[in-house]
């Protein structure tokens, strides 16, 4: 099939899906949902083919297709180059899983949902996927903005689609408002360019931007960065994220966390390396350092806040903040190193490769984890992990897949999370060697923070997995859980397979990264730089002379690991076949019960105390004593941590604004004399001004 | 009559109009205000007549006549009738003290002169002193509406400011096209009618003055 | 006499005749039929007129004249009138059922509505600035009666405030007209009858005396600005819009304030020609910004849904003023497009809110909860209307706001843009907060679960369709109309 | 870059580390005993324990999930794989790309993660407590370790341990500069934490208040426990080998049996020195309170940071 037909076909699939599920609204809801998800899956497959066609097609290929004229003042068009295709690929990969997962999930979660609502699900899902896909394929500012807002709107609908309590509506409101603020910044950034260019399409913008004076260009970049950062949930613009993502249905959460944030990353890369890139010479240094700093902050704070969450999906949402931070570290490093020296541009390629690879990796394992959380949710209807436990014996496949995702996101070998973090470390090391002076130190510090992040993530997921799936069930919800339906398992298995493949044989993925990296940075693509020694070996040459490079082969490590495991297994069986019997866990002689299990709160407590300065933890313990104060009947414990940005910036601002407007409204007059007075006053003042100015 | 005489007559009338306006502002009783408006309209009718005689413009005669009939006779009579019909208190309760209102009206007069002074001598030839007087009348009329309670006083103020407009129209541009003038006057009559109806309606339902209702706010 | 000229005097006549015809019957079905019929006829005639104008330029007949600029407003007017007529059918049944409207006064209600429409038609078609003023005062009188129609003292209070304040306002407008007339007369171009005619004045506008025109424009700006609901002269607006019967609110917010804007535009062109574009630009910018800023706190801290929509009209009139102020082809085009978009969307919002109010028997947004549960379609339309008003694509208002922004950024009014955007975001938050509160959650016990009646839905869906279509793309015919209108203003 | 340490050699080194692990533990115990004026157990006691454990039956908690049995195996495998990455006998990068420091840290972290999972699986309070504390200390250790590695890696421009060792060359102590001393100091502070010894952890007791690592082993028994113990021996060995590879990688360059033996000898000597150091520390310090550990590691962090600053600035 010709790649040229791809976009149209994709639009047809998504649009058709949206419309058909809308038309089926009056009829059976299940049919609407089914049709919607099938169409979404088809659209994702088309997107997959399209992106692969571009990525593996002849290098430097860009598909440009005009859109029939809609607005008299702008020519709309699509343009799909390497970068667009890569993000389209990521979107499609997760979208397939979500589309497979969705129907069974929705049915299991709320079987009694009204047809209208189910149809809305199908409609919004297709709209969401379509808009995301076409944001990446947009060839001009207006298409970009329209799809961008469409994406926000569709995800908003999905977030509030389940409005059993007001909580989701509030989360949706916060999300929508912050997204709108971000869009406002984007508007200014884009219009600042389009008005100079006199046209909307990216080609014209590129041409204009290369002629911009540095201050203006930097201002435009930071406007755009602010807009995208809001969408990406970068700290301190993240407050909407941990509320909105959990509120959505889980497969939508997977899409939002795994993919939608990446669209923002796409925007940042598009602006920094493509639209605003100067004709020659490096980018303004302020850009890269800012992005690096912001990325590091988000990574550390994100995982720290994630550690203290007990709501499974909220925890995952905070981890998205962390991973976006890691991606931004790579991107920022690439901005710093780009076009610095001969070899640094190769180094920049390494950094960008790390960022892009982590984009795909995060999409895979975060999608997997959210789907796993969804399976737990739809079987137990509980999101608070304190009320779960012991699920590994009841939902073994789900548990195994979730564990795989946990290992991957904790950046542990031999899975994919480690690969991208390894590349990031290499790039950071290279940066430290190239950038002398304080800059180098900052880069090394970022490396240390990255290591800290990895360790904390491991701790966090030891907690998440252990408390949710291991030990004894703490409540009847968990007690009576059963394994998730096969279609949901299949969707998770698909993503898990991606995690393993990207982890064990990352060299092959580099082939896909060639197009975007060379499109953005010019020069050799990833596979030439990182997979120079064949697809099995990742190698990075750090010093100009080429000596002292680093090489690592995930494949061999994995093989070694498997072999040794086999040997150790034999060893464990023992010389003679020892019998195995089971006995209750040792609890100092008491009869064990679920109350002996370590809770999430307890597990995270040491770190809560270590980082108390960041958490401002609050705990209130009330003793319920009987007649004598020494006999304690019951102890109530309530503890919480505060999100500094939220309490210190957002809550305060919101409160002040509302108080201000309340007072203004209360002071306003209702008497007609005041009305007339205002009119008269306005006239007199205006006349005075005219008289004074034009004397 | 020579143009200068006409000009001087108009100026004197303008001064008189300002005087009546001050009477309206200072009026402590509703009747006084109504009479002052009637007198004001009368003066305007005279001004129309003078201008008509000077320019021989037939339209102006008609306009003067209409003003005499409608504004100097009919509307004051209607107001008078309403006041008697709904036996409200005859005293005018000011929103802010009368002295303050007077001060404000002085300010307005100053502003209007300053504004028209900003036009410069050449352009003042077009407008003469009529413009500042007109502005002053119009704004002061509105000032009265803003600073006097009871709906009736507001209607009085409204008519006063309409007078200001008419005077300007005559003096500055020998009156607008006849049809327009008539239309305007018809509108004013209609408005007065509707307002009267509303006043009586409220008076009959809730025993309060419509202008004092201030439940709707914010 | 060509078709166009005939239509010029037929158009105002249609609603007038209907109005008097309506006084002859008491039967509600006949009244509704007359209502829908005559507004459909009006719509058809207007479309014919539009084709005439597109084909052979402006037509003039005595004091009436139609050009593309007026046509933009006229089309908006007739579309909304039609939608209102359809909506009224079902709304009235319900209103009479709960006793909001007495069956025996219905004919006067319908008659007044059509007189109101007739005056607005004249306002739009008026070429003579005096006639423009007269018709404008006519709209005030008729609509004042409609606002007070319910007869309880809140309604009368609102009506009184409305009639007094707007009458003062447009009497200032008259003063301004007189001054500009004087300036024109002073140039002594032609007979005095001609000098009040806008089309006759435009060619010589550049020779008018700038000083007088400046003062005149200030008076007109304040005067017609009062009628248009620009801050700080807007105070009557939320009262009137909240107290009027819902269809009337839709007409007030959708068309009437736009007519006042048309008046301002006509004078703006004269002022721009006489004393340079800078002067009207800055006046409009100042009032636009004041309106956007002043509206914000009242939108945030509002409990009455119709007052909310009223204040929102203030904000949007401010946006139109900003667009006109930024000027240039883009800004003006955007402003005109915004006039149409806001008219349609705001009418839709009022319709949806009206249905919700009827369901819950209250205008308090703390009482109206979970509309989506009790009325799925109406609730959806309510949310869509709110989102569109807040400027979210793919709805039409986003496009016009985008163009206004373009103009502002292109011409480098950075401060105005900054304030504008900040307020837009805050207002967005407020509006969505209110709309979300009304749409989602568990409905209160007061809510009536009765099925949604068809005619209001048809009316709303008509408007929603226009809203979405204009958001996804501007048809060539509309574009041509707007372009020609823009040329008239900018030239 | 492609080096000349053949895969066979790598396997040999790995086997050495695996087999000598218990011996080192035994040595440390012996020295401690001596320092405490006890005779102490035999050097080979750890081997005997392991052999005994592998012969025993196993008891498993009835609440444990299917993962529980496989965890010791995986932990052992991960640790031993990590052993494959450090050069012991000879410096220089391996022929196959198996020598990356970051990968080594990753594998150790994997082992630790799985251990914690296993500890939580049985669902007792001790396992959870041990896991919680272990996972509290680990994230604080890792950045410091990473920076120590970087402080040498920045100079060499690689994170390949063999290459790092080769870059430092044979005359290591003479070539040391301030940065190296600081980095080494930081490394010495980390050593007890990474090997789970006093002052951070106490390997000898299962007392609730003191234990980190041992608490996680409570529910394992028989061969499983054997695997876990062997893994912790190997882990300690790997860490010591890492230190020597980073800071004093003396080793003959030539090939042939003689140089191989020489290499084995030298590395044995280095590891013995470090073992003695550990024993000294263990018997001369008391265990820190858990919440003092971050401060303790903070000192190491500062040392490493300063070392890097000296390298870069």
Asked if A188 lies within 8 A of C409 by C-beta distance, the reply is yes
Query: Is residue B88 pLDDT above 90, yes or no?
Result: no
Domain span including residue D29: 7-312
pLDDT on residue A212: 86
- What average pLDDT does this structure show over B201-216? 77
* Mutation for testing the B interface, residue in A665, A684, A685 having most B CBs under 10 Å: A684
Query: Is residue D62 pLDDT above 90, yes or no?
Result: no
In a domain, D75, yes or no: yes
In a domain, A92, yes or no: no
Q: List Cβ<8 Å contacts ≥24 apart for A281-286.
A: A281/A339, A282/A338, A282/A339, A282/A340, A283/A335, A283/A338, A283/A339, A284/A214, A284/A217, A284/A218, A284/A221, A285/A336, A286/A218
Two tokens, residue A315: 């925890």
* CA C346 to mean position of chain CA atoms: 9
In a domain, D158, yes or no: yes
Contact B41, B61 (CB under 8 A): no
Contact A451, D190 (CB under 8 A): no
- What average pLDDT does this structure show over A283-291? 92
Asked if B174 lies within 8 A of C138 by C-beta distance, the reply is no
Asked if A683 lies within 8 A of B139 by C-beta distance, the reply is yes
CA dihedral A351, A357, A358, A362 (to 10 degrees): 170
In a domain, D187, yes or no: yes
- Which residues of chain A does C432 touch, with a Cβ-Cβ cutoff of 8 Å? 173, 176-177
H or E segment to which residue C64 belongs: strand C64-66
Q: Cα(B106)–Cα(C103) distance, rounded to whole angstroms? A: 53
Asked if B111 lies within 8 A of A687 by C-beta distance, the reply is yes
Which chain C residue has the Cα nearest residue A660?
A: C297
pTM: 0.91
In a domain, D60, yes or no: yes
Asked if D128 lies within 8 A of A598 by C-beta distance, the reply is yes
Which residues touch B125 (CB under 8 Å, ≥6 apart)? none
Partners of D239 in the β-ladder: none
Query: Is residue A640 pLDDT above 90, yes or no?
Result: no
Candidates D208, D189, D194, D186; CA nearest to D137 is D194
Chains D and C touch (3+ CB pairs under 8 A): no
pLDDT on residue B204: 78
Of D131, D154, D158, the CB nearest to A462: D131
Q: How far is A233 from chain C (nearest CA, A)?
A: 18
Helix/strand/coil for A635: strand
In a domain, D45, yes or no: yes
B146 touches chain C (CB under 8 A): no
Q: Cα(C187)–Cα(C207) distance, rounded to whole angstroms? A: 7
Q: How far is C410 from chain A (nearest CA, A)?
A: 5
Asked if B214 lies within 8 A of A691 by C-beta distance, the reply is no
pLDDT on residue A100: 95
Candidates A395, A393, A404, A358; CA nearest to A374 is A395
A419-428, A576-585, C215-224: the lowest-pLDDT one: A576-585
Two tokens, residue C202: 């435009």
Query: Is residue B176 pLDDT above 80, yes or no?
Result: no
Cα A229–Cα A650–Cα C370 angle in degrees, nearest 5: 95
Instruction: Write the pLDDT tens digit of every residue in D220-259.
Output: 988 899 999 999 999 999 999 999 888 888 666 666 788 8
Peptide bond into C394 cis (omega under 30): yes
pLDDT on residue C139: 95
Two tokens, residue D199: 């002052």
- What average pLDDT does this structure show over A111-135? 89
Q: Cα(A370)–Cα(A521) distance, rounded to whole angstroms? A: 33
Q: Of all residues in chain A, what percent carry a pLDDT higher than 70?
A: 97
pLDDT on residue D210: 61
Instruction: Write the pLDDT tens digit of every residue in A2-22.
Output: 778 888 999 999 999 999 988
Asked if B214 lies within 8 A of A672 by C-beta distance, the reply is yes
- Which residues of chain C does B172 touch, with a Cβ-Cβ cutoff of 8 Å? 178-179, 182
pLDDT on residue D92: 78
Number of domains in chain A: 2
Q: Cα(D129)–Cα(D133) distance, rounded to whole angstroms? A: 6
Contact C181, B165 (CB under 8 A): no
Query: Is residue A402 pLDDT above 90, yes or no?
Result: yes
Of B115, B214, B215, the CB nearest to A687: B115
- Touching subunits for chain A (3+ Cβ pairs under 8 A): B, C, D
H or E segment to which residue A103 belongs: helix A82-109
Helix/strand/coil for B49: helix
Q: Of all residues in chain B, what percent carry a pLDDT higher than 90?
A: 9
In a domain, A40, yes or no: no
Partners of A540 in the β-ladder: A550
pLDDT on residue C195: 66
Q: Cα(C159)–Cα(C147) distance, rounded to whole angstroms? A: 5
Asked if C151 lies within 8 A of B201 by C-beta distance, the reply is yes
The helix-helix angle for B178-205 and B58-66 (nearest 10°) equals 10
C73 or A643, which is more confident: C73
Of C158, C181, C301, the CB nearest to B176: C181
Q: Please, what's the b/e burial string for A636-671 (b: 16 or more CB within 10 A of its CB; e: otherwise)?
A: eeeeebebebbeeebeeeeeebeeebeebbeeeebb
Give me the residues of A, 403-462, that contact D with CB < 8 A: 403, 407, 410-413, 418, 422, 425-426, 429-430, 432-433, 436-438, 440-441, 444-445, 447-449, 451-452, 454-456, 458-459, 461-462
Q: Cα(C485)–Cα(C475) distance, rounded to whole angstroms? A: 15
Give me the residues of C, 370-429, that contact B with CB < 8 A: none
- Touching subunits for chain C (3+ Cβ pairs under 8 A): A, B
Whether residue A638 is found in the same domain as residue A667: no
A111 or C312, which is more confident: C312
* Mutation for testing the C interface, residue in B63, B162, B187, B205 having most C CBs under 10 Å: B187
| H-only helix segments in C390-453 | 396-410, 414-439
For chains A and C, CB pairs below 8 A equal: 141
Instruction: Write the pLDDT tens digit of every residue in A264-273.
Output: 999 999 999 9
Q: Cα(A376)–Cα(A383) distance, rounded to whole angstroms? A: 8
A590 touches chain D (CB under 8 A): no
Q: What is the average pLDDT value for chain D, to the nearest integer?
A: 88
Q: Cα(C297)–Cα(C319) distance, rounded to whole angstroms? A: 16
Q: Please, what's the b/e burial string for C84-98 (b: 16 or more CB within 10 A of its CB; e: otherwise)?
A: bbbbbbbbbebbeee
Contact D110, D78 (CB under 8 A): yes
pLDDT on residue D208: 62
Whether residue A630 is found in the same domain as residue A654: no
Which parts of chain C sit beneath pLDDT 70? 1, 188-195
Query: Is residue A651 pLDDT above 60, yes or no?
Result: yes
In a domain, A670, yes or no: yes
Give me the residues of B, 181-210, that contact C with CB < 8 A: 183-184, 186-187, 190-191, 194-195, 198, 201-202, 205-206, 208, 210
In a domain, A618, yes or no: yes
Give me the residues of B, 82-141, that contact C with CB < 8 A: 115-116, 118-120, 123, 126-127, 131, 134-135, 138
H or E segment to which residue A633 belongs: strand A632-640
- What average pLDDT does this structure show over D156-173? 80
In a domain, D1, yes or no: no
Instruction: Write the pLDDT tens digit of every residue in A36-55.
Output: 999 999 999 999 999 999 99
A114 or A33, which is more confident: A33
Partners of A640 in the β-ladder: A618
Domain span including residue A659: 650-693
Q: How far is B58 from chain A (nearest CA, A)?
A: 34
Classify the C-alpha dihedral A477-A478-A482-A488 as positive or negative.
positive
Which chain B residue has the Cα nearest residue A669?
A: B217
Asked if D150 lies within 8 A of A465 by C-beta distance, the reply is no
Instruction: Write the pLDDT tens digit of every residue in A432-481.
Output: 888 878 888 899 999 999 999 999 999 999 999 999 999 889 999 888 99
pLDDT on residue D46: 94
CA distances from A609 to A613, A614, A617, C381 (A): 8, 10, 8, 50
Q: What is the average pLDDT value for chain A, to the nearest integer?
A: 89
Of A433, A564, A581, the CB nearest to D80: A564
Q: Please, what's the b/e burial string for C100-126 (b: 16 or more CB within 10 A of its CB; e: otherwise)?
A: ebeeeebbebbbbbbbbbbbbbbbbbb
In a domain, A680, yes or no: yes
Two tokens, residue D34: 């001596």
* Mutation for testing the A interface, residue in C333, C436, C438 having most A CBs under 10 Å: C436
In a domain, D2, yes or no: no
pLDDT confidence tier of residue B93, bands split at 50, 70 and 90: confident
Q: How far is C192 from chain B (nearest CA, A)?
A: 7
In a domain, A669, yes or no: yes
Instruction: Write the pLDDT tens digit of every residue in A528-538.
Output: 888 888 888 88
pLDDT on residue B121: 60
Q: Cα(A117)–Cα(B152) distance, rounded to whole angstroms? A: 58
- Which residues of chain C does A177 touch, with a Cβ-Cβ cutoff of 8 Å? 425, 428-429, 432
CA distances from C401 to A73, A487, C405 (A): 14, 45, 6
pLDDT confidence tier of residue A398, bands split at 50, 70 and 90: very high
Give me the residues of C, 33-52, that contact B with CB < 8 A: none
Chains D and B touch (3+ CB pairs under 8 A): no
D169 or C435, which is more confident: C435
Q: Please, what's the b/e burial string for D120-147 (b: 16 or more CB within 10 A of its CB; e: otherwise)?
A: bbbbbbbbbbbbbbbbbbbbbbbbbbbb
In a domain, D185, yes or no: yes
pLDDT on residue C200: 85
CA distances from C475 to A75, A278, D228 (A): 14, 38, 74
- What average pLDDT does this structure show over A480-501? 94
Q: Cα(C283)–Cα(A128) distance, rounded to whole angstroms? A: 43
- Touching subunits for chain D (3+ Cβ pairs under 8 A): A
Candidates C119, C149, C423, C443; CA nearest to C256 is C119
Contact C117, C13 (CB under 8 A): no
pLDDT confidence tier of residue A342, bands split at 50, 70 and 90: low
């Amino acid at each position: 099939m010709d790649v040229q037909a791809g976009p149209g076909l994709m639009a047809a699939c998504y649009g058709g899906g949206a419309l058909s599920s809308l038309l089926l609204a009056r009829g059976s809801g299940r049919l609407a949902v089914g049709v919607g998800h099938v169409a979404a899956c088809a659209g994702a497959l088309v997107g997959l083919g399209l992106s692969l066609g571009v990525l593996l097609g002849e290098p430097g290929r860009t598909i440009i297709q005009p859109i029939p004229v809609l607005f008299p003042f702008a020519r709309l068009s699509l343009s799909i180059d390497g970068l667009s295709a890569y993000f389209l690929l990521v979107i499609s990969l997760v979208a397939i899983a979500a589309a497979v997962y969705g129907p069974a999930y929705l049915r299991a979660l709320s079987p009694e949902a009204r047809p209208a609502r189910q149809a809305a699900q199908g409609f919004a899902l297709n709209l969401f996927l379509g808009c995301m896909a076409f944001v990446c394929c947009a060839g001009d500012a207006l298409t970009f903005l329209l799809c961008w807002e469409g994406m926000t709107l569709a995800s908003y609908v999905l977030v509030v689609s389940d409005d059993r309590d007001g909580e989701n509506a509030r989360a949706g409101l916060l999300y929508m408002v912050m997204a709108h603020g971000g869009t406002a910044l984007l508007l200014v950034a884009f219009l600042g360019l389009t008005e100079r260019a006199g046209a909307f399409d990216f080609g014209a913008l590129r041409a204009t931007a290369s002629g911009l004076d540095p201050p203006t260009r930097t201002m435009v970049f930071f406007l755009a960065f602010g807009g995208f950062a809001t969408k990406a949930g970068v700290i301190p613009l993240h407050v909407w994220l941990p509320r909105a993502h959990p509120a959505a249905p889980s497969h939508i959460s997977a899409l939002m966390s795994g993919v939608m944030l990446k669209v923002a990353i796409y925007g940042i890369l598009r602006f920094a390396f493509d639209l605003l890139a100067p004709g020659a010479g490096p980018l303004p240094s302020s850009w890269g350092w800012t992005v690096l700093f912001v990325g590091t902050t988000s990574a550390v704070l994100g995982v720290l806040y994630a550690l203290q969450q007990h709501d499974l999906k909220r925890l995952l949402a905070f981890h998205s903040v962390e991973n976006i931070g890691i991606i931004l570290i790579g991107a920022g490093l690439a901005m710093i190193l780009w076009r610095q020296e001969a070899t640094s541009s190769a180094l920049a390629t390494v950094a960008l490769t790390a960022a892009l690879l982590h984009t795909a990796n995060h999409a895979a394992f975060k999608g997997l984890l959210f789907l796993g959380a969804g399976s737990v949710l739809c079987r137990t209807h509980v999101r608070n992990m304190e009320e779960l436990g012991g699920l590994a014996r009841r939902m073994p496949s789900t548990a195994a897949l979730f564990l795989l995702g946990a290992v991957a996101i904790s950046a542990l070998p031999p899975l994919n999370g480690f690969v991208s973090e390894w590349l990031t470390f290499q790039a950071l090391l290279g940066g430290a060697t190239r950038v002398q002076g304080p800059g180098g130190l900052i880069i090394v510090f970022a490396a240390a923070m990255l290591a800290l992040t990895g360790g904390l993530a491991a701790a966090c997921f030891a907690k998440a997995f252990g408390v949710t799936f291991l030990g004894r069930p703490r409540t009847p919800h968990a007690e009576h859980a059963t394994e998730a339906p096969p279609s949901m398992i299949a969707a998770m298995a698909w993503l898990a397979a991606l995690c393993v493949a990207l982890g064990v044989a990352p060299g092959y993925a580099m082939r896909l990264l060639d197009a975007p990296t060379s499109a953005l940075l010019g020069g050799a693509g990833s596979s030439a730089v990182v997979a120079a020694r064949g697809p099995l070996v990742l190698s990075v040459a750090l010093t100009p002379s080429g000596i002292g490079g680093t090489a690592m082969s995930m494949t061999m490590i994995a093989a070694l690991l498997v072999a040794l495991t086999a040997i150790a297994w034999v060893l464990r069986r023992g010389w003679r076949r020892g019998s195995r019997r089971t006995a209750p866990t040792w609890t100092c002689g008491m009869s064990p019960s679920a109350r002996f299990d370590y809770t999430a709160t307890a597990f995270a407590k040491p770190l809560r105390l270590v980082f108390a300065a960041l958490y401002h933890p609050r705990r209130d313990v009330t003793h319920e004593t009987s007649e004598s104060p020494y006999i304690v009947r019951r102890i109530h414990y309530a503890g919480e941590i505060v999100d500094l940005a939220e309490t210190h910036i957002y809550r305060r601002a919101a409160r002040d604004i509302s108080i201000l407007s309340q007072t203004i409204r209360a002071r306003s007059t209702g008497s007609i004399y005041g009305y007339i007075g205002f009119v008269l006053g306005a006239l007199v003042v205006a006349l005075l001004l005219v008289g004074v100015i034009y004397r | 009559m020579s143009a200068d005489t006409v000009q001087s007559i108009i100026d004197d009338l303008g001064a008189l109009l300002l005087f009546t306006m001050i009477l309206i502002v200072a009026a402590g009783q509703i009747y006084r205000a109504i009479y002052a408006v009637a007198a004001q309209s009368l003066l305007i009718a005279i001004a129309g007549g003078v201008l008509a005689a000077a320019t021989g413009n037939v339209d102006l005669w008609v306009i003067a006549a209409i003003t005499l009939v409608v504004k100097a006779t009919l509307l004051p009579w209607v107001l008078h009738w309403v006041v008697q019909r709904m036996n409200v208190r005859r005293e005018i309760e000011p929103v802010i003290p009368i002295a303050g209102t007077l001060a404000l009206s002085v300010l307005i007069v100053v502003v209007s002169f300053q504004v028209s002074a900003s036009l410069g001598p050449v352009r003042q030839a077009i407008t003469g002193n009529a413009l500042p007087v007109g502005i002053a009348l119009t704004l002061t009329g509105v000032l009265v509406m803003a600073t006097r309670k009871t709906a009736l006083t507001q209607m009085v103020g409204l008519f006063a400011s309409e007078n200001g407009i008419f005077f300007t129209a005559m003096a500055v541009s020998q009156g607008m096209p006849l049809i327009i003038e008539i239309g305007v006057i018809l509108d004013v009559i209609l408005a007065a009618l509707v307002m009267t109806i509303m006043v009586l309606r409220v008076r009959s339902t809730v025993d309060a003055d419509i202008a004092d209702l201030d439940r709707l706010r914010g | 006499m060509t078709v166009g000229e005939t239509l010029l005097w037929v158009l105002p006549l249609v609603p007038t005749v209907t109005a008097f015809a309506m006084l002859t019957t008491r039967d509600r079905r006949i009244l509704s039929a007359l209502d829908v019929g005559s507004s459909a006829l009006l719509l058809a005639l207007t479309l014919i007129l539009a084709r005439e104008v597109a084909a052979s330029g402006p037509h003039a007949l005595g004091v009436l004249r139609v050009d593309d600029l007026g046509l933009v407003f006229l089309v908006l007017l007739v579309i909304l009138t039609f939608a209102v007529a359809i909506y009224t059918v079902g709304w009235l049944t319900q209103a009479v059922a709960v006793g909001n409207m007495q069956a025996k006064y219905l004919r006067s209600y319908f008659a007044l509505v059509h007189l109101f429409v007739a005056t607005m038609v004249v306002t739009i078609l008026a070429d003579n600035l005096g006639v423009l003023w007269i018709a404008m005062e006519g709209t005030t009188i008729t609509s004042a009666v409609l606002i007070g129609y319910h007869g309880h003292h809140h309604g009368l209070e609102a009506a009184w405030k409305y009639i007094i304040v707007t009458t003062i306002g447009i009497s200032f407008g008259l003063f301004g007209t007189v001054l500009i007339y004087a300036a024109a007369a002073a140039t002594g171009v032609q007979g005095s009858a001609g000098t009040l005619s806008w089309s006759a004045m435009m060619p010589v506008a550049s020779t008018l005396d700038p000083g007088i025109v400046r003062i005149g424009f200030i008076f007109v700006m304040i005067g017609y600005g009062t009628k248009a609901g620009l801050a700080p002269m807007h105070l009557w607006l939320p009262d009137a819009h909240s107290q009027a019967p819902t269809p009337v609110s839709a007409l007030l917010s959708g068309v009437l304030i736009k007519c006042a804007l048309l008046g301002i535009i006509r004078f703006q062109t004269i002022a721009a020609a006489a004393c340079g574009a800078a002067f009207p630009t800055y006046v409009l910018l100042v009032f636009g910004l004041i309106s956007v800023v002043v509206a914000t706190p009242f939108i945030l801290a509002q409990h009455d849904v119709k007052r909310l929509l009223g204040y929102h009209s203030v904000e949007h009139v401010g946006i139109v003023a900003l667009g006109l102020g930024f000027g240039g082809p883009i800004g003006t085009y955007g402003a005109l497009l915004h006039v149409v978009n806001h008219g349609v969307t705001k009418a839709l919002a009022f319709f949806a809110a009206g249905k919700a109010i009827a369901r819950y028997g209250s205008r308090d947004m703390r009482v109206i909860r979970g509309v989506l549960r009790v009325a799925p379609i109406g609730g959806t339309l309510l949310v869509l209307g709110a989102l569109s008003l807040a400027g979210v694509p793919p709805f039409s208002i986003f496009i016009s706001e985008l163009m206004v922004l373009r103009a502002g950024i292109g011409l480098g009014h950075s401060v105005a843009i900054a304030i504008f955007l900040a307020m837009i975001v805050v207002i967005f938050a407020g509006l969505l907060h209110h709309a979300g509160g009304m749409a989602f959650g568990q409905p209160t016990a007061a809510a009536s679960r009765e099925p949604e009646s068809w005619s209001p839905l048809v009316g709303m869906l008509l408007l929603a369709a226009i809203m979405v279509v204009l958001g996804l793309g501007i048809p060539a015919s509309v574009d041509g109309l707007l372009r020609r209108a823009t040329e008239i203003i900018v030239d | 870059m492609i080096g000349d340490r053949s895969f066979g050699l790598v396997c040999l080194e790995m086997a050495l580390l695996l087999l000598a692990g218990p011996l080192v533990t035994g040595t440390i115990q012996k020295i401690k005993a001596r320092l405490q004026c006890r005779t102490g157990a035999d050097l080979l006691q750890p081997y005997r324990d392991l052999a005994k454990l592998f012969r025993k039956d196993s008891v498993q908690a009835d609440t444990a999930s299917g993962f529980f049995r496989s965890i010791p195996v995986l932990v052992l495998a991960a640790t031993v794989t990590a052993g494959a990455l450090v050069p012991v006998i000879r410096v220089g990068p391996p022929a196959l790309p198996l020598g990356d420091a970051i990968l080594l840290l990753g594998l150790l972290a994997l082992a630790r993660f799985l251990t914690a999972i296993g500890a939580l699986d049985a669902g007792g309070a001790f396992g959870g407590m041990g896991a919680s504390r272990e996972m509290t200390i680990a994230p604080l250790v890792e950045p410091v370790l990473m920076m120590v590695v970087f402080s040498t890696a920045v100079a060499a421009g690689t994170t390949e341990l063999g290459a790092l060792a080769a870059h430092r060359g044979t005359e290591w102590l003479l070539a040391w500069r301030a940065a190296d001393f600081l980095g080494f100091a930081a490394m010495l502070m980390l050593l007890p934490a990474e090997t789970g010894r006093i002052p951070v952890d106490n390997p000898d007791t299962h007392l609730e208040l003191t234990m980190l690592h041992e608490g996680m082993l409570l529910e394992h028994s028989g061969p499983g426990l054997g695997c876990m113990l062997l893994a912790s021996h190997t882990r300690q060995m790997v860490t010591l080998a890492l230190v020597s590879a980073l800071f004093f990688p003396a080793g003959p360059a030539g090939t042939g049996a003689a140089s191989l033996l020489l290499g084995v000898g030298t590395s044995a000597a280095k590891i013995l020195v470090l073992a003695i150091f550990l024993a000294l520390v263990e018997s001369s310090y008391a265990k820190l309170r858990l919440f003092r550990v971050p401060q303790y590691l903070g000192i190491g962090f500062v040392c490493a940071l300063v070392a890097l600053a000296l390298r870069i600035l």
